[in-house]
């Protein structure tokens, strides 16, 4: 028993010494490109549509990685794809990012994030690329699916004044900022999609994000019930500031609704 006790202590000590190195390797080299596919059903078993949500590309020129993301989105065979902002941080990467996004074979709908504004990305080019898929770039605007059953509303900031009364069918809100879900003044949606938080990028297991950017509110990542409807906060594909993700894999989400 004594021998086992000493051995266990040694193993525990070795594991504690190795833990920082394992976290560094995982956070820098493994997780940033280890894309997870998460599947959720908010239709209560009566779902009729397959929607893919992805966000926060922060594309910096890694063609192989983004090509792989697009291929995985296409493999999910969605009815529509929704993107909730931050295509690039530097405008010079926009053309290449859009060339790759145009390979999405389902209608692609999207809204801008803060970095799309800060980079000076040309919204007319983005709109053309999204329209080439049959979708739309929605800057305080709304559109309907070809069958008229789904209204997709895209908000550019924290202003909800442009949002009209619900007509018919189901209504989805795309926003970069999760906290916007608490600023909708009684407006209701069947689904609200947001990004921006990156899930914090660095997370502590069983605790959560170390820090979140402004505009995230109390929403880190995952599905939340809000007074305006169900909110899904996607942790994003890319990284901001530090090229690192720890206990926070990039994610493509398939939502049945």
Residues contributing to the site for Fe ion (CB under 5 A): 56, 86
| Closest approach of Fe ion to the CB of residue 89, in Å | 8
Q: Which of 37, 89, 100 is CA-nearest to residue 243?
A: 89
Residues 194 and 85: their CA atoms lie apart, in Å, by: 8
For Fe ion, which is the closer residue by CB, 56 or 142? 56
- Residue 4 three-state SS: helix
For Fe ion, which is the closer residue by CB, 56 or 220? 56
CA dist 70 → 100, 137, 171, 175 (Å): 7, 18, 25, 21
For Fe ion, which is the closer residue by CB, 86 or 251? 86
Give residue 136's Cα distance to chain centre: 17
For Fe ion, which is the closer residue by CB, 91 or 187? 91
Residues 114 and 219: their CA atoms lie apart, in Å, by: 17
| Closest approach of Fe ion to the CB of residue 8, in Å | 43
Residues 169 and 190: their CA atoms lie apart, in Å, by: 10
Residues 32 and 249: their CA atoms lie apart, in Å, by: 7
CB 92 within 8 A of CB 137: no
| Closest approach of Fe ion to the CB of residue 198, in Å | 6
| Closest approach of Fe ion to the CB of residue 10, in Å | 43
For Fe ion, which is the closer residue by CB, 151 or 216? 216
| Closest approach of Fe ion to the CB of residue 138, in Å | 18
């Amino acid at each position: 028993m004594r021998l086992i006790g000493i051995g266990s202590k040694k193993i525990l000590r070795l594991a504690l010494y190795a833990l920082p190195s394992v976290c560094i390797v995982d956070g820098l080299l493994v997780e940033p490109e280890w894309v997870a596919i998460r599947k959720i059903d908010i239709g209560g078993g009566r779902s009729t549509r397959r929607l893919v949500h992805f966000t926060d590309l922060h594309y910096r020129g890694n063609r192989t990685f983004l090509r792989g993301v697009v291929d995985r989105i296409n493999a999910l065979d969605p009815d529509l794809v929704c993107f909730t902002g931050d295509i690039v941080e530097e405008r010079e990467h926009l053309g290449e990012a859009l060339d790759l996004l145009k390979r999405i074979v389902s209608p692609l709908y999207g809204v801008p994030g803060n970095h799309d504004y800060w980079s000076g990305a040309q919204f007319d080019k983005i709109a053309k690329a999204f329209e080439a898929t049959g979708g739309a770039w929605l800057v305080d605007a709304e559109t309907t699916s070809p069958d008229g059953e789904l209204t997709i509303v895209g908000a550019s900031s924290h202003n909800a004044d442009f949002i009209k009364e619900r007509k018919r069918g189901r209504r989805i809100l795309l926003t970069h900022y999760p906290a916007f879900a608490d600023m909708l003044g009684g407006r209701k949606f069947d689904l609200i999609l947001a990004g921006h938080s990156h899930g914090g990028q660095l997370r502590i297991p069983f605790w959560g994000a170390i820090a979140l950017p402004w505009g995230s509110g109390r929403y880190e990542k995952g599905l939340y019930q809000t007074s305006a409807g169900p909110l899904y906060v996607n942790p994003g594909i890319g990284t901001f500031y530090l090229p690192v993700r720890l206990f926070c894999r990039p994610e493509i989400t398939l939502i049945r609704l």
